[in-house]
Amino acid sequence: MLKVYIHAGDLRERNEGNVLAVLDIAYLKQEPFSDYAVGFSMMGVGEVQPDVVTQYPRWAGSLWDLVARGLTRILYREDQAPPTRKPDRRCAYATRMCAWIQKSTNSDAGIELGSVEIHQVQGQRGTYTAKFTEDILGQRGAAFTYGLKSLNPADLLLRAICWAYFDKDVLGPRPALILPPSIKIDGVEMFDVNALDEPARTGFLRYKGRYALKAPEPMAKAEDYVRFLMRG
């Protein structure tokens, strides 16, 4: 399961008292194209009706992309959010906000996989910068404008992700499932691990490392990659 915590303030200031909202993402079906249940609660509102992200390719893109699609289902009950309007001088705003992704499983609890800080540019209401980090894919940033009469921190996070990863205020196409080309060696389908795009490459190497006494070989069985997509 993934938990996404949204806080007022910066990452160094986060605590239980400044949590604004929490998004939960959990498997309904763990396959190469997986279904995810998404739940959401927000300060002052409580829990809302859960929803589902369907047929999402595993290990194919940024975790923040998955978070954005979960937020879109929760906020708009669609796979796409409507475009935003240009903010006016009366728009509500956040001076500083942050969010972070936590992974919890039977074997791993409380592992932080990503974070973001969103800051309003000083003296410019509705103008923001966002700095994202992620376990495998590293850093990403954006500058954008956003403002409504009432501030929804989850929607602000959604738009920050869209600007950072798609350079617009709405979602781009879902990532394509990463399938490496294979060749038959001595009757066995094999593939070059180094040919995998990230995050699948690092994810597969970590998966193989859990079951190997030595470092994974550069060539791996295609069936092992299928197992990784089903279980890793």
pLDDT at 159: 98
Q: For residue range 11-45, what is the model confidence (pLDDT) as tens digits? A: 999 999 999 999 999 999 999 999 999 999 999 88
Q: Are 228 and 216 in contact (CB under 8 A)?
A: no
- CA–CA dist 128, 145 (Å, integer): 6
First to last CA, the chain: 13
pLDDT at 113: 96
Above pLDDT 70, what percent of the chain?
96
pLDDT at 213: 54
Number of neighbouring beta carbons within 10 Å of residue 84: 17
Domain residue spans of the chain: 2-166, 183-231
Q: Is the pLDDT of residue 127 over 90?
A: yes
Rg for the chain, CA atoms, rounded: 19
Q: Is the pLDDT of residue 222 over 80?
A: yes
pLDDT at 123: 86
pLDDT at 216: 67
Phi, psi dihedral angles at 209 (to 5 degrees): -65, -25
Q: Is the pLDDT of residue 108 over 90?
A: no
107 pLDDT band, cuts 50/70/90, is: low
* Between 138 and 90, the higher pLDDT residue: 138
pLDDT at 215: 62
Kindly list the distances between the CA atom of residue 100 and the CA atoms of 76, 79, 217, in Å, as whole numbers in the listed order: 22, 22, 34
Q: For residue range 137-194, what is the model confidence (pLDDT) as tens digits? A: 999 999 999 998 899 999 999 999 999 999 999 999 999 999 999 999 999 999 999 9
88 pLDDT band, cuts 50/70/90, is: confident
pLDDT at 85: 87
Q: Tokens standing for 138?
A: 């590293």
pLDDT at 130: 98
Q: Is the pLDDT of residue 212 over 70?
A: no
